[in-house]
A and B are shown apart, each in its own frame.
Chain A
């Protein structure tokens, strides 16, 4: 694979598809989009297979560098962390296209073009090795998402699209100023070089806050999460899937790629801020999720809670926590995507997201109820599913940094079980009170084809997470080493008791004896 620009190709394929979709009729646009995303998925598999994850491998692979833009370059390259997020993206995209197959009937060509363009930008974000290229990709995602929410969204779509756009734009522009400052200071726009550059710790605080403004909004963290429920509720099903599945991960990716390695001192210094906001988010948004009557809103709030577990893991400053954060990101990407698809399935039939309008679906939709149960359990974090691995590692990691944070955040799992099981009970169990809900047909072959791959991936990730952890391990170790000098001490280390002063000679003998064991 040496020298073959596979990353550029992965961006070129959906880009060509997007342009073709703009000029194609409704049905051909659907097929173009499906073929383009599937081709990209195949490329993603090839990428994964070609990624060298042996111990001595280079950190950055598949690198491309073309200085064609003057002040910045078309510089691409991935490490294991980016690889996993790219695989998640290309895996979810065909499913999104499939989910929109019948739900979207108006302006199909533009819709598919927007999604394919979105895919280009998402892959661009995860592969960019140039600071400004990253920013352009990161920010450009606003355009297709604004259009997707605004054109194909629900009743309140215009308000939601504005809120999404302006909120995230405001978060990002300050980051741009910080980036400019960094480039002037370090004299390079290359991300790998900047990751190794030691900025003055005093300035780091400001830089960290500027990046934090962007990533915290994108993530989203409490209290700047309020755009998410609106955007989710109004977006079409596939829009919600891609929003929850991949776009939110850009925030986490930003923390892991920029905030932590570039500003380690500031990260440690401001860890209390991240911890505090995350603790509030876990408890507060879980409680808010509990009282929602709108299915999509409930899942949106649960996303905020789950992403707080991600930030907790990231700011644990050890490899367990960071590995856990990555696993939660991947697992949440799959599970929340699947849950939105489950909502979409019944929304397409009854055109309402009100939980109270459903009930007893296990009777007339047994296949649906089974798959929905699997994803509900995965969202709760049941062992054997993807989210368990990530949540366990994250919380274990943060326990070493702060046992109080771990204590508060673990309640998130209990509350998560409460709101998810309550949701499931209201929708699938109980009596069939509404005749129209009771008459809904079970999953079609298309819908099973959308949900089954996610179910398989969720179980794979839960049973054998090593496949996903192995490519990232070396990168996370490197990050841990970078953070080590600044990492906070932690309050949960076992302290050896001071032995009482006894007879001197006797004491030495005991010590020697102890060592021999």
Chain B
């Protein structure tokens, strides 16, 4: 039975669905000429969906008998997802304009992906989880191979699709096992069934489920697709992949771990600790040798996911709050960094991707170099930039939960990561100038870039707000 409270609780999804369908028709009938309008209307749709979040929160926390959740946690994650999706749309037109072909279907695909991501973070049932995940993924496969005349892009799309389907299969198998051994697909039902001890079957189901989720957030050992997809996909799509789906996958993993698998905490904690440390170390070490900045960002995202998982490993409300805060700060840094990378264009406006082309940027494009340096120092976790605070929160949560050794090990490994971020700064500031980039960036790019940089530099003033929001989000899971 569908009641109006449930419909109001999923109002953001309804707004996005309606907007996405209408804009798809506009794009189909308007053709490439409508690209500009569709772009802006998609951003407006995302903004409206963002406004609808407050309505959703008011009618939560459960919708459709627990199939969907509309709690503070999902609102926190969705706000991030919509923001990141809007940024990915706004950053795109200049990139696609190089080929002379604006793409109205790009923003529409992102809208559909955003619906899927919204379902992921508010799933209260294994079925909703799967539907949301597939919806997000299908849009993402298409986006990865968006530049269909470009071989690398097609390759990226294919790789992503094949490996992604495999991961979906694993996840589905895990769900089936959990359903078989607990007799329910609802998260709270699974938690009740696991309350009397974790059986072998449940354990297997849990491991498969977590493996599937680890693929989606590109955590080691399921990270293999990330560098290729990041490199091959068009840069605006990479911006998107690096931000919103990460939040969705992380939000989903946190919710599943706490709400559904909460009683098996001791079992998944070891898995999460291993995955976290492995991601941190592999992400850091493998990034050192990269010469393509998008590949480097891929390893950087693996590295960052590892840090965010440390908060989950703590398994406490403070830990969950730290993970979500980490994702919030990470999204800002990633979008800022990609806004810089999108401006790496030669004099003809063709995009460049090699790190070597950044040489001496601080002399030709002072502002751009300073912004990228801010994001890199921030990702390396150097105070006083906000990226430090993200790391601080997860490690503080780990220490608070008694995992001091994990925190010490993780933070020591973060020094390895600092090395390759420094390499970019070194290239920009210490090396002799290479061929200069295009003289100036687009207005929208610059605004997004500046906004992100300001947040990263002055972010500590937002601390009370972030603390409050993330604590409320975490509290709604426990």
Q: Chain A residues near B384 (CB, 8 Å)?
A: 136-137, 140
Cα(A136)–Cα(B460), bound, Å: 11
For residue B161, CB closer than 8 A to chain A, the reply is no
CB < 8 Å neighbour of A139 from B382, B429, B460, B463:
B382
Q: List 5 A-B contacts (CB under 8 A).
A: A70-B464, A165-B418, A166-B418, A170-B412, A177-B408
- Which residues of chain A (137-191) have a CB below 8 Å from chain B? 137, 139-140, 142-143, 146-147, 150-151, 157-158, 161-162, 165-166, 169-170, 173-174, 176-177, 180-181, 184
B407 at the interface (CB under 8 A from A): yes
**Smallest Cβ distance from A365 to chain B, in angstroms?**
34
- Partner-binding segment picked from B211-219, B276-284, B388-396: B388-396
Whether the pair A150, B392 counts as a contact (CB closer than 8 A) is no
User: What are the residues of chain B within 8 A of A151 when measuring CB–CB?
Assistant: 429-430
- Given the interface contacts A151-B429, A165-B422, A166-B419, does A177 sit within 8 Å of B411 by beta carbon? yes
Q: Which of B380-436 contact A (CB under 8 A)?
A: 382-384, 388, 392, 395-396, 399-400, 404, 407-408, 411-412, 414-415, 418-419, 422, 425-426, 429-430
Please name the residue on chain A nearest to B399 by beta carbon: A180
Q: Determine whether the beta carbon of B383 is less than 8 Å from that of A135.
A: yes
The answer to whether B2 has its CB under 8 Å from any CB of chain A is no
Q: Check: A49 CB closer than 8 A to any chain B CB.
A: no
| B residues in contact with A4, CB < 8 Å | none
Complex Cα distance, B399 from A137, in Å, reads: 22
- Contact (Cβ within 8 A) B399 A166: no
A interface vs B, CB < 8 Å?
Answer: 68-71, 107, 110, 132, 135-137, 139-140, 142-143, 146-147, 150-151, 157-158, 161-162, 165-166, 169-170, 173-174, 176-177, 180-181, 184
From residue A250, how far is it (CB to closest CB) to chain B in Å? 14
Q: Please pick, from B377, B400, B407, B426, the residue contacting A143 in the complex, using a CB distance under 8 A.
A: B377
Main SS of chain A's interface residues? helix
The answer to whether B461 and A69 touch across the interface, beta carbons within 8 angstroms, is yes
Q: Nearest 6 pairs between A and B by C-beta?
A: A70-B463, A136-B383, A180-B399, A173-B411, A150-B430, A70-B467
Residues of A within 8 A of B26 (CB): none
Q: Which residue of A lies closest to B397 (CB)?
A: A180
Q: Across the interface, name the chain B residue whose C-beta is closest to A117.
A: B384
With the chains together, A214 CA to B464 CA distance in Å? 29
- Complex CA gap A173/B404 in Å reads 13
Pick the contact of A136: B377, B388, B404, B430 (CB < 8 A): B388
> Quick one: closest A residue to B380, CB to CB?
A169
Compute how far the CA of A91 lies from the CA of B419 in the bound complex, rounded to whole angstroms.
Answer: 34
Decide if B466 is an interface residue (CB 8 Å cutoff). yes
The distance in angstroms between the C-alpha atoms of A68 and B464, with both chains bound, is 7
A344 to B383, CA, bound (A): 32
B430-467 with Cβ < 8 A to chain A = 430, 460-461, 463-464, 466-467
Distance, CA A139 to CA B411, complexed state (A): 14
Given contacts A158-B430, A173-B411, 5 further A-B contacts (CB under 8 A): A68-B463, A70-B466, A150-B430, A166-B415, A169-B415
Q: How many Å lie between the Cα of A119 and that of B429 in the bound state?
A: 21
Assembled-state Cα–Cα distance A69/B392 (Å): 13
Q: For window 341-391 of chain B, which residues contact chain A by CB distance below 8 Å?
A: 362-363, 377, 382-384, 388
Q: Bound state CA distance, A143 and B388, in angstroms? A: 13
Establish whether residues B395 and A180, one from each chain, have CB atoms under 8 Å apart when the complex forms: yes
Considering the chains assembled together, what is the distance between the CA atoms of A107 and B383 in angstroms? 24
Q: Which residue on chain A has the smallest CB distance to residue B408? A: A177
What B residues does A150 contact at CB under 8 A?
A: 426, 429-430
Query: How far apart sit A158 and B382, CA to CA, in the bound complex (Å)?
Result: 19
Supposing A139-B383, A150-B426 touch, asked if A173 and B415 sit within 8 A by C-beta, the answer is yes
Smallest Cβ distance from A409 to chain B, in angstroms?
33
B383 touching A146, Cβ below 8 Å: no
- Bound state CA distance, A68 and B400, in angstroms? 22
Distance, CA A136 to CA B384, complexed state (A): 6
Q: Are the CB atoms of B429 and A147 closer together than 8 Å?
A: yes
Contact of A140 among B383, B426, B461 (CB under 8 A): B383
Contact between B400 and A184, CB atoms less than 8 A apart: yes
Contact A170 B429 (CB under 8 A): no
Q: Looking at B395, B460, B464, which has the most chain A CB atoms within 10 Å of its CB? A: B460
**Contact residue among B408, B419, B426, B461 (Cβ-Cβ distance under 8 Å from A158):** B426
CA distance A161 to B425 in the complex (A): 11
Bound-state Cα–Cα, A68 to B422, Å: 30
Contact indicator B382/A140 (Cβ below 8 Å)? yes
In the complex, chain B residues whose CB is within 8 Å of the CB of A146: 422, 425
Name the residue on B nearest A109 (C-beta): B366
From the candidates A68, A161, A176, A177, name the one contacting B426 in the complex (CB within 8 A). Answer: A161
* Chain B hits for A132, CB < 8 A: 392
B430:A157 contact, CB within 8 angstroms: yes
Q: A177 near B430 (CB under 8 angstroms)?
A: no
Interface contact B419-A173, CB-CB below 8 Å: no
A150–B400 Cα gap in the complex (Å)? 38
Contact of B415 (CB < 8 Å), options: A157, A170, A181? A170
B359 to chain A, nearest CB (A): 13
A270 to B80, CA, bound (A): 49
Residues of A within 8 A of B404 (CB): 177, 181
A169:B408 contact, CB within 8 angstroms: no
Instruction: Please indicate the chain B residues that have their CB under 8 angstroms from the CB of A69 in the complex.
Output: 460-461, 463-464
Contacts of A143 in B (CB 8 A): 377, 382
Q: A174: which of B408, B418, B429 is its contact (CB, 8 Å)?
A: B408
Q: Please pick, from A71, A140, A173, the residue contacting B414 in the complex, using a CB distance under 8 A.
A: A173
B412 and chain A: residue at smallest CB distance: A173
| Alpha-carbon gap, A136 to B389, bound state (A) | 10
Given contacts A147-B429, A157-B430, A161-B426, whether A68 and B461 have CB atoms under 8 Å apart is yes
| Bound-state Cα–Cα, A70 to B321, Å | 14
Q: Which of B112-144 contact A (CB under 8 A)?
A: none
A475 vs B383: C-alpha distance when bound (angstroms): 30
* Nearest CB in chain B to that of A139: its residue: B383
B411 near A71: Cβ-Cβ < 8 Å: no
CB distance from B148 to the nearest CB of A (A): 42
Given the interface pairs A70-B466, A135-B383, A143-B377, the reply to whether A162 lies near B422 with Cβ below 8 Å is: yes
Q: Is the CB of A177 within 8 A of B399?
A: yes
Q: How far is the CA of A181 from the CA of B405 in the complex (A)?
A: 11
Docked Cα-Cα span, A69 to B383, in Å, equals 14
Of the candidates A71, A137, A142, A177, which one forms a contact with B463 in the assembled complex, judged by CB atoms under 8 Å apart? A71
Query: Which chain B residues lie closer than 8 Å to A107 at the CB level?
Result: 362-363
With a CB–CB cut-off of 8 A, which chain A residues contact B382?
Answer: 139-140, 142-143, 169
> Which of B395, B418, B425, B467 touches A176 (beta carbons < 8 Å)?
B395
Chain B residues in 8 Å Cβ range of A135: 383
Which residue of chain A is the closest to B374 with respect to CB atoms?
A: A143
For residue A85, give the distance in angstroms from its CB to the closest CB of chain B.
Answer: 20
Q: Given A150-B430, A157-B430, A181-B404, are A169 and B463 also a contact pair (CB < 8 Å)?
A: no
**Which residues of A are found within 8 Å of B392, using beta-carbon distances?**
132, 176
Is A161 touching B464 in the complex (CB atoms < 8 A)? no
Hey, which chain B residues are within 8 Å of A166, CB to CB?
415, 418-419, 422
Q: Which residues of B contact A71 (CB under 8 A)?
A: 463, 467
- Residues from chain A with a CB closer than 8 A to the CB of B395 are 176-177, 180
CA distance A173 to B384 in the complex (A): 14
- The minimal Cβ–Cβ distance linking A158 to chain B, given in whole angstroms, is 6
Closest B residue, CB atoms, query A120: B384
Which residues of B (38-55) have their CB < 8 Å from a CB of A? Answer: none
- Which of A139, A142, A158, A177 is most buried by chain B, counting CB atoms within 10 A of its CB? A177
User: Which B residues touch A137, using CB under 8 A?
Assistant: 383-384
Interface residue from A70, A139, A177 paired with B407 (Cβ < 8 Å): A177
Distance in angstroms between the alpha carbons of A137 and B382 in the assembled complex: 10
Instruction: Report how far A170 CA is from B419 CA in the complex, Å.
Output: 11
Contacts of A142 in B (CB 8 A): 382
Whole-angstrom distance between the Cβ of B152 and the nearest chain A Cβ: 32
Q: In the complex, what residues of A have CB within 8 A of residue B383's CB?
A: 135-137, 139-140
Once the chains are docked, how many angstroms separate the CA of A173 from the CA of B417? 13
B residues within 8 A CB of A170?
412, 415
